[in-house]
Amino acid sequence: MSNVTKWMSWESGVDLVAVTSPELQMPNVIVHLGQLVNTPVGSAPSGMIFWQPDPNAAPLVFGFVGTDAKVGAYFGPNIFAGTPFEEAPVLAATIDIQITTIAAYAKCVTSDYTFEVEMSDFSEPYLINRVPAAMPPFYQQGVEIHARKATLKVNGQPIDIIIPPMGISGGPASVVSPNGVYAR
């Protein structure tokens, strides 16, 4: 049995995976943010953004976001190795997350883009314990709350999104996570 040497944990997470057209087979929207993300190299508000409104063009925003470049640089090679995110760039960003018992709000500002996610209509909290798969290739443990309603704004403009029943993490595509850990 090998020891866990690569890990990250978070507090107050918001995770939205969506498509902007029913014809799309893969998500073209990912907003995955934590108010505080802890790693072996430090702690900071962090996450990842993938925004590709035109699926035939390059993404407009793609990378790990946060307030500490060293923490952001840890994610790709240590947590997301073997995935399309392994070589993702690190983008300076501010992150604001507010979670109550009935709603969640997350705002990420990076370069010329502002992403705002609002979530509500929550399930009861539940524990997760997911084993590695092709995607994602790491263990996941924590608490999730399925948000059955979510909206997205980019630069203040509402974006029509379709939220699939399952996201890339193996659970619902729209969740609030009070805390959790990824480990390899």
Question: Whose CA is closest to 176, among 113, 110, 102?
Answer: 102
- Which distant-in-sequence residues (6+ apart) come within 8 Å of 38 by Cβ? 8, 9, 10
pTM tops 0.85, yes or no: yes
**1 inside domain:** no
Question: Side chain identity at 96, as an amino acid letter?
Answer: D
Is position 98 within any domain? yes
* Number of structural domains in the chain: 1
In the block, residue with structure tokens 């480990």: 183
Q: State the Cα–Cα distance between residues 157 and 83, nearest whole angstrom.
A: 30
103 lies in which domain range?
7-183
Give the model's pLDDT for residue 170: 85
The answer to whether position 113 is within a domain reads yes
Provide the pLDDT for residue 2.
Answer: 66
Q: Report the Cα 149 to chain-centroid distance in Å.
A: 16
Average pLDDT value for residue range 136-165: 96
Residue 45 domain-assigned?
yes
Q: What is the mean pLDDT of the chain?
A: 95
Instruction: State percent of the chain over pLDDT 70.
Output: 99
User: Cα(64)–Cα(47) distance, rounded to whole angstroms?
Assistant: 6
End-to-end CA distance of the chain: 12
Instruction: Classify residue 2: in a domain, yes or no.
Output: no
By C-alpha distance, which of 88, 112, 90 is closest to 44? 90
Residue 152 domain flag: yes
Least confident of 2-6, 85-89, 117-121, 155-159: 2-6
pLDDT band at 5 (very low <50, low <70, confident <90, very high): confident
Q: How far is CA 70 from the centre of its chain?
A: 18
Strands 90-99 and 103-110: antiparallel
23/90 Cα distance (integer angstroms): 30
pLDDT recorded at residue 135: 81
| 3-state class (DSSP) for residue 70 | helix
Selected residue with higher pLDDT from 162 and 169: 162
Bridging pattern class, strands 90-99 and 61-66: parallel
- Domain assignment of residue 141, yes or no: yes
The owner of tokens 């390059």 is: 58
Q: Considering only the C-alpha atoms of the chain, give the largest distance between any 2 of them, rounded to a whole number of Å.
A: 50
56 assigned to some structural domain: yes
Question: What's the average model confidence in pLDDT over 65-87?
Answer: 96
Give me the mean pLDDT over the 64-72 stretch.
98
Q: Give the model's confidence band at 168: pLDDT under 50 very low, under 70 low, under 90 confident, else very high.
A: confident
